[in-house]
Structure 1
Amino acid sequence: MIRILPDQLVNQIAAGEVIERPAAVVKELVENSLDAGARRIEVDLERGGLGLVRVRDDGAGIEPAQMALAFERHATSKIKSLDDLERVASLGFRGEALPSILSVSRLRMTSRRSGAGHAWTLGGEGVLFARQPVPAAHPPGTSIEVRDLFFNTPARRKFLKSEATEFRHAQNALDRIALSRFDVGFALRHNQRRVRDLAPADGAPARRARVASICGEDFIAQAVEIDESRMGMRLHGWVGLPSFARSQADLQFFYVNGRLVRDRLPGFALRRAFADVMHSAHHPAYVLYLELDPAGVDVNVHPQKTEVRFRDGGRVHDMLFGAVHQLLRGVRPQPEQHRVMLIPPPASASPERASPAYPRQASGLATDLRAIPAVAEAAAVYARTETAPLAVTDKAANAAPDEAPLGHALAQLHGVYILAQNRQGLVVVDAHAAHERVLYERMKHQLDGGGIPAQGLLMPQSVTLHEDEADALEARKAELYRYGIDFDRAGPGSVRVRAVPPLLDPAQVEALIRGLVRDDERREAVSHFGEAIEAQYRVLADVACKAAIKANRRLTLPEMDALLRDMERTELAGQCNHGRPTWVQLGIDALDRLFLRGR
């Protein structure tokens, strides 16, 4: 028998989609306050939100005749027609939150319109007590109290965590909203204890301070700002430097037209932008805001509105990848971004030893993804250190510390680290990691400029393959020649290699060819163009790693200075191709404190 479900049961089913825990109540009510034009929002929690969630705002308030209507399903003041739905800009528009919350809690709403003589209140337990509100005392704005969440659905309460865990989720929900609305003040109290009190953040310093209070001082100290407009979209916010990469994706905030979303497309594009400077097991950190025409994004695809669908996902991907990729490539070695403080700095530093501020430099060379030529994969490629000497120039040898961010080389430590002096103090460089990045970027530019030069072998080398492998390799002969690889077909199942890139050890020719065969197999398994490009570029990273300066290779001071100058000119020089830092800065203040100078 088919039955029409009663309204309360329908609301409880909807609550299962929208209201998972107290944090969801905080999110829905705070978003309603923002849509009401609130400039300050106060949230009170008891027992992690299980006992009480109270949200008070100074917004426009609700007319008494409209209060009962707010608890009807699909009742909303945000949209009136299909056109409104397609261009929705408000946060709450489904009209499900209030009836869903009421169906599983003891709720009371009190609201006063600006200019009204008094407020009105309405409440219920599972359902409204009455349709008509009664007078109450309340300042202009609205308060909603939600007590004893899931009191009438005990099975739902069993799935909740401890009070501490539920409070942490609720605090995170408020923090995520606070990062999207700098013009609004937020306060949070838990069990009568003040936890957050954020004043409206007017101006860049105040916004940075709010981000620091939520994401941590370390993040804002190691982040660069971005503000790019292209293709009818604007991307702005903060991107953590690769050196701030994290072991989990816990510091990623991405907003679309002010709404926090967790969508695969932005996540993939941003991760790809970090591919050259971050280990595959790490995650970038960012607080980013994408603004575009509301008609270009569908936010009505998820009950909690945390997922969106872009009408032109390709353009959005290109915008995000291109802007962040170019930003990262424009960051050059700057001591303020790689400072290591072994001991906290003193309360006040002497003026003559204050570190100068280094402004973010303009973006350097950047290559658009669809303009990158394909690069052959060659696993297990080894190159001789001797074939990758450091170019020493008079300018590099004579550079003064005050003229270059990384200063002037002093010595080499344990055959691994370069010690240099600059204006800030001591620079420590991992010679292998730094040289690896320099070689990698150099090879990429060679490819972009026409191809890697080939070096003929004194004796061509034959490599035996399966016949189908030799066929596939021969089909790529013209392409591989651009990478400095030249060969002929020597038989049904063999090829004769005549030339390889100058960095490659001839003893590794067979490994190179077999790596190219594996690349053909991988290409067939990779369908996404961007992923294929990344797989192909990994071979350059491997070649650079094997060709870079090895441990215990003694360098002269001019050679060390040459590497420092190369780093300053090289894009993404702060990290090697595997995401490790290439250098750190020990400030003079930190060194003074280590030796108790000035005490």
Structure 2
Amino acid sequence: MTRPLLPPTIRPLDPHAVNRIAAGEVVERPASAVKELVENALDAGATRIDVAIREGGRALIRVEDDGCGIRAEELGLALARHATSKTDGADLLDIHSFGFRGEALASLAAVARIALTSRVAGAEAACIAAEGGRVGAVRPAALSRGTVIEVRDLFFATPARLKFLRGEQAEAQAVAEVIRRLAMAEPFVAFTLRDLTDGERLVIRLDAETPDLGDPREALRRRLRAVMGRGFSDGAVPLEAERDGHSLLGWAGLPAEARGAATAQNVFVNGRPVRDKLLLGALRAGYMDVLAAGRYPMAALYLECDPRLVDVNVHPAKAEVRFRDPDTVRGLVVGALRRALAGLRAAPSLAEELIEAARFEPTPGAGPMSAQGHVMPSPRALEAAFRAQAPAFAEPMPPAAPWVVPTPEDEAHPLGAARAQLHGNWIIAETRDGLVLVDQHAAHERLVYERLKEDAARGPVPSQALLIPVVVELPEEDAQRLGDAVSDLARLGLVVEPFGRGAAVLREVPAALAGADGAALLRDVADALAEEGAGGLGRRLDAVLARVACHGSVRSGRRLRPEEMNALLREMERTPNAGQCNHGRPTFVALQIKDIERLFGRR
């Protein structure tokens, strides 16, 4: 590249070019335009917002609201860059509205064809149009109240941007997601979304919730049920906490309800939906010990603080924020989540999945159907079956195995009283209103893990020397990782020494793991160190403890006595996070009587 002999002339950009450049930051796609327009309606005090789109928002975006409107003489100014009614600019940290930059309408006017119609109470309606940055004159119009804005042919003035848009369906889904997130922040506002691409299809309809004077959170919970589904609202754990001028309210989905993508993680700051790295990172940290790899929790978290404690003027799209005291905010979110998730709760979805798995599906030609849809055997088949079994009914029953008869007090426990063990791994317990099915290996794995963590927090984990040290051959990288972590592993009761370039020797193990397979344990510890990489020390040590706990837990196939099973249930009830094993899998499923009745067609 050749250098110019003379410096180029500096000159201001054309205002139309400035607006088109700004539009690339503010309006990235149709969903961004919808977000800006709906936020304007909310700032105008709207109680009803109707959105319509065509071709994913590329051909048409129409937003109607019943807000306070815009004066006719200010319609032209509304389309000007950096003109806003939200703030006078004196204090950009004291922001109480969604919008404040005055960029959205000017950006849309620069890259699309828009028509803005509005009416203020006590005045006549007026409208103004703009196309590719050229603004027309204000004209009289007909409108009962509020504001209607139509955006047509988005990015027609910047055709290169159209190439970066996704397919019509993907853009329409992004618009719907924007509406849902804003609706979760404003439960007292009604929202509709219609797709006009092929006829008219109602995509979203959310009626305004009515305030509940007994519990202000109830309206918010009802809106979350409408948006995120009944499964989330019924199974999510409520949380509420305060710290140093910051308050947190929300609902956290149980680990068993986690999804394969982070689409159901919703975070709000002073009522504003955000995708903030700090808050989403704190959300992950709150679930760190109870979630399987590759799974993402469902959550709705609402953080409130003085506007001066958070800067929302970080990005033109206002999707990111910056806190004055990020450590306080992170600690508040992580602590509240861990306390809320520490209780013993069964995920409702697991019972539903069990019922669906056990539901009998008739095959064609299998026989007549009952009123509940089940196959009814013929009378001849019933008679034949009874005759075949008649001799067995006449014989005396073999003596029952000795058993501890549960008392009503046992059944009153959250996990009830153990009744049986199936296939050496599944404990069936009876509760007052149903039954519980427990995975004994997964449950004991969590108990050992929490016990080891308590020991590590108090000091070095008690260890036991091996009678014969175990030499384990490993890949050179794994051996190096173990050598680098010798002092940290010693705090966890694992005394390891390098043994050449591709081996290590295990001399001591945690006392709780007496009799464990030392070679397998050391390989698992090396894998945990490799997976965590250069992560924080605390996270790496927890990962190692999780692997260690797996080796110290009750193995599948081991027969337990009734008193052992009941002792396991009681310890689960006392242990934090006992609803999930170290890998995030559920440790038990609860079925109520009504669920069992559904299995047998009684409901």
The aligned length equals 538
State TM-score, norm by structure 2: 0.80
Q: Is 1:95 aligned with 2:98? A: no
How far is the alpha carbon of 1:397 from its aligned partner?
Answer: 6.9
The answer (yes or no) to whether the contact 1:333–1:406 under 8 Å persists in 2 is no
Specify the alignment match of 2:586 in structure 1.
581
Distance 1:513 1:55, change over 3 A: closer
Instruction: Name the residue aligned to 1:21.
Output: 29
1:301 maps to 2:333: no
325 and 97 in structure 1: CA distance in 2 versus 1, 3 angstrom threshold: same
Counterpart secondary structure, 1:503: helix
Shift of 1:292: 1.6
Residues 190-240 of structure 1, C-alpha deviations (whole Å, 9 max, x = no match): 223333222222334443232122212222222111111122111111111
- The letter for the 2-side match of 1:332 is L
The residue correspondences of 1:173-322 to structure 2 (distance < 5 A) are: 173-191=178-196, 192-201=200-209, 202-203=211-212, 204-322=217-335
Q: Which runs of 5+ in 2 are unaligned?
A: 1-8, 360-402
TM-score by length of 1: 0.81
1:532 to 2:540 alignment: no
> Residues 490 and 170 (structure 1 numbering): CA distance in 2 closer, same or farther, change over 3 Å?
closer
For the structure 1 residues 420 and 217, does the alpha-carbon distance in structure 2 shift closer, same or farther, using more than 3 Å as the test? same
Letter in 2 for 1:165: A
The alpha carbon displacement at 1:13 in A equals: 1.6
Question: Residue 272 of structure 1: CA displacement?
Answer: 1.2
The whole-number CA distance in structure 1 between the counterparts of 2:406 and 2:465 is 33
Aligned to 2:375: none
CA distance in 1, matches of 2:57, 2:109: 15
| Aligned partner of 1:166 among 162, 171, 182 | 171
Note closer, same or farther for the CA distance 1:185–1:37 as it changes in structure 2 (3 Å cut): same
Paired residue type of 2:111: V
Cα deviation, 1:97-129, whole Å, max 9, x if unaligned, reads 101111122211111112x23211111222344
Q: Tell me the CA shift for residue 34 of structure 1.
A: 1.1
Listed one character per residue, the Cα deviations across residues 11-32 of structure 1 (whole Å, up to 9, x for unaligned) are 1121122222221111111111
1:429-488: per-residue Cα shift (whole Å, max 9, x none)?
Answer: 11100111111112222333454333355567899999xx99x979976x7665445799
Q: Is the 8 A contact 1:401 1:408 kept in 2?
A: yes
Q: Is the 8 A contact 2:524 2:547 kept in 1?
A: no
Determine the structure 2 residue equivalent to 1:412.
421
Pairing 1:30–2:38 present: yes
Matched with 2:141 is 136
Distance 1:407 1:143, change over 3 A: same
Report deviation, 1:161: 3.3
Q: Which residue is equivalent to 1:378?
A: none
Give the structure, 1 or 2, with the largest relative contact order (CA under 8 Å, sep 6 or more).
1
SS at match of 2:331: helix
Offset of 1:286 from its aligned partner?
0.6
Does structure 2 retain, via aligned residues, the 8 Å contact 1:61–1:111? yes
* Counterparts of 1:475 and 1:98, CA distance in 2: 57
1:118 is matched with: 124
Displacement of 1:152 after TM fit? 3.2
Contact 2:418–2:428 at 8 Å: present in 1 too? Answer: yes
Where 1:137 maps in the other structure, the secondary structure is coil
Give the Cα separation in 2 of the matches to 1:506 and 1:61: 76
Partners of 1:592 and 1:495 in 2: how far apart?
A: 56
Calculate percent identity across the aligned residue pairs: 45
Q: Paired residue for 2:71?
A: 63
Residue 339 (structure 1) aligns with: 351
Rate the CA distance shift 1:570–1:101 in 2: closer, same or farther, 3 A. same
Partner residue of 1:151 out of 153, 156, 162: 156
- Highest Rg: 1 or 2? 2
Q: CA deviation at 1:287?
A: 0.9
Superposition pairs of residues 399-548 of structure 1, within 5 angstroms: 400=409, 402-458=411-467, 483-484=492-493, 500-505=509-514, 526=534, 531-548=536-553
> Is 1:127 paired with 2:125?
no
CA distance in 1, matches of 2:276, 2:405: 47
From the superposition, tell whether residues 171 and 597 of structure 1 become closer, same or farther in structure 2 (CA, over 3 Å). Answer: closer
- State the 1:401 CA deviation: 5.1
Range moving further from structure 2, 13-22 or 446-455: 446-455
Tell me the secondary structure at the aligned position of residue 5 of structure 1. Answer: coil
Give the superposition deviation at 1:311. 2.2
**Post-superposition offset of 1:596:** 3.0
Contact 1:176 1:253 in 2 (8 A): yes
The 8 Å contact of residues 452 and 482 in structure 1, kept in 2 or not, is answered as yes
Deviation at 1:259, TM superposition (A): 1.4
- After TM superposition, the structure 1 stretch with the greater mean CA deviation from structure 2, 48-57 or 191-200, is 191-200
2:178 & 2:466 partners in 1: Cα distance? 63
1:464 & 1:104 partners in 2: Cα distance? 64
Alpha-carbon RMSD across the aligned residues, in angstroms, is 3.5
How far the C-alpha of 1:577 sits from its partner, in A, is: 0.3
Q: In structure 2, what is the Cα distance between the partners aligned to 1:332 and 1:510?
A: 34
Shift, 1:142, TM fit: 1.4
> CA shift at 1:290, angstroms?
1.0
List, as ranges, runs of 4+ consecutive aligned residues in structure 1 with deviation greater than 6 Å.
394-397, 459-466, 472-477, 486-491, 494-498, 510-523
Aligned 1:550-565 pairs, distance under 5 A: 550-565=555-570
Given that 2:117 and 2:126 are in contact with CA atoms closer than 8 Å, whether structure 1 keeps it comes out as yes
Instruction: Supply the AA of the counterpart residue of 1:130.
Output: G
* Compared CA separation, residues 101 and 236, structure 1 to 2 (3 A): same
